[in-house]
Amino acid sequence: MPRIRLAAFGDSLTEGYGLPAYGSFPAQLERALLEGGHHVEVLNFGVSGDTSADGLFRLADVIEAEPDAAYIEFGANDCFQLVDPEQTKANLSAMIEAFQDRGISVLLLGFKPLNFIPQSYSTVFHPIFNELAQKYKIPFHPDLMQGIIGNPHYLLTDGVHPSTEGVSAMTENLYPLFDNLLTTLKS
């Protein structure tokens, strides 16, 4: 059975900011999926600080790696910089379409704005992930950091990035979504 190549495409939450390489989300996800019986390789295309516009700029490199599937995880830095949510949505749309045009399955990971982000912005920003998932009929999770933010044990001292334990919790939360994606790809 050929190995499924999954591109992990995102910002610092994908790259593994402040963590050893084996502690990053792609590394922990790959181990969990292998233990779950999937023949998979997760390629880490995470870059700290990237906005969705930066991701769009790097998209060709990800496609060139010829993954079978990809997850898209951008939005946190757009949110921190108060990028127009319509621009973030347009950038994410372009990424999804580029993957789908090449027959690459896509999974979208959303980001829920933190409490220091103005409520007026959060109200417009957070729904874009659900809207895109419905429009493109792709699986998604509304909040990659669900259950992580606000728990000091799961965060680095900056209070924003997940610790190794936080990434383990993220992996556990999101495993069913990826398990389903890979099972669908195999059938």
164-186 and 25-35 helices, crossing angle to 10°: 50
Confirm whether 12 is a catalytic residue.
yes
Q: Which of 38, 126, 141, 161 is catalytic?
A: 161
Nearest to 175 by CA among 30, 41, 72, 8: 30
Catalytic position from the list 12, 24, 52, 163 = 12
Which is the catalytic residue, given 101, 120, 153, 158? 158
Residues belonging to the active site:
12, 158, 161
